[in-house]
Amino acid sequence: MTAISECVSLKPYNTFGIEVQARYFAHINHIQQVQELATSKGMFTQMPKLPLGGGSNLLFTQNYNGLVLYNCLKGIAIDRESSQTVWLTVQGGEVWHELVQYCVAQNWGGLENLSLIPGSAGAAPIQNIGAYGVELKDVFVQLQAVHLASGEIHNFSNAECRFGYRNSIFKTAFKGQYFICSVTLQLKKNPQFNLQYGEVQRTLEQLGYINPTVQAVSHAICHIRNAKLPNPAELGNCGSFFKNPELETTTFEYLHRLHNTMPHYPAANGRMKIPAAWLIEQCGWKGRRIGNTGTHVNHALVLVNYGNATGAEIKQLAESIQQSVLDRFGILLEPEVNIL
């Protein structure tokens, strides 16, 4: 039997630090608990269920009137290895950055650019976490998940996850339908480093590294992130609140003629990616504070909770920012964060 608590504060379980309650809350230590809750024909079978990892990509705007399944599955195991590659299966409740540190310590390459991303391993595939030129999909092999409606265990290959920019099938067709138990990743013993993001190369030099190593790149990434992104343990936030918009060529060219300092990067299918942070900063929002909410002084894309903000207040701020960017640039910013 799984112990289920009632009326549990979710404040410690979301990095925005929003005070809401879950009607019911269960710590999941074994896959069988999820299967049992999904199929036992008890009161929880039909109830809405929220799989929860590190809560680092979630904005709660109201109490959760269902059952929270808090992923506490732990363990990192080597499935197999060759002279070049290691295949690791990581349980969903592992803390992402601790997994990165473990791989860095073994000198296995692949995750170093994803250092210091808040959240859990099980949540990583949902939005295909990414940073500094690398995305989870680049190292991802497969995952195992419990289908919440049937209790069945399903495996998803890389292609079946339909990864995109901050996107996967778990944010679209199968949204809310699966509890991710484990992910299998493929890491390299002699990695090629991805230093395409100019700041990474510059930081390596600044830190005195001559040749990149797994440790050096991870150190540089942590250095960059610590310099501009607030630590959620100190200031409530969810990292980037919006996705960087991708524009069709004609729209981009039109806007670029009007705003010739607008930064831009080539994206998939001939589109151009524009930093949402730049658009928001141009609208005067960077570092602005409204009550208990605001955008961070060092990064306009990071919305923060200065104290006791409610989710509704943060959502209101996000909508005001969206409106400003829409009025000025004709671009509708799409939240990256899941708003509940």
**Residue 252 and residue 269: Cα distance in Å, rounded?**
14
Other residues' Cβ atoms within 10 Å of the Cβ of residue 213? 16
When binding is defined by CB under 6 A, the residue of 193, 278, 285, 329 that contacts ligand EPU is 278
| Number of chain positions touching ligand EPU (CB under 6 A) | 16
Q: What type of residue sits at position 114? A: L
**Residue 185 and residue 180: Cα distance in Å, rounded?**
14
Piece of the chain touching ligand EPU by CB under 6 A; list 66-74, 188-196, 254-262, 277-285: 277-285
Question: Contact between 300 and ligand EPU (CB under 6 A)?
Answer: yes
Piece of the chain touching ligand EPU by CB under 6 A; list 28-36, 69-77, 153-161, 240-248: 240-248
Closest to ligand EPU by CB, 219 or 286: 286
Closest to ligand EPU by CB, 123 or 181: 123
336 is a catalytic site residue: yes
DSSP 178-228: EEEEEEEEEEESSPPP---SHHHHHHHHHTT-SS--HHHHHHHHHHHHHHH
Piece of the chain touching ligand EPU by CB under 6 A; list 68-76, 102-110, 171-179, 275-283: 275-283
Q: 188 burial class (0-12, 13-18, 19+ CB within 10 angstroms)?
A: middle
β-strand partners of 131: 134
Among residues 94, 166, 168, 182, which one is catalytic? 166
Question: Contact between 132 and ligand EPU (CB under 6 A)?
Answer: yes
168 is a catalytic site residue: no
First to last CA, the chain: 28
Q: Which residues are at the interface with ligand EPU (CB under 6 A)?
A: 131-132, 239-240, 243-244, 263, 275, 277-278, 281, 286, 299-301, 336
Q: Which residues are known catalytic residues? A: 166, 240, 336
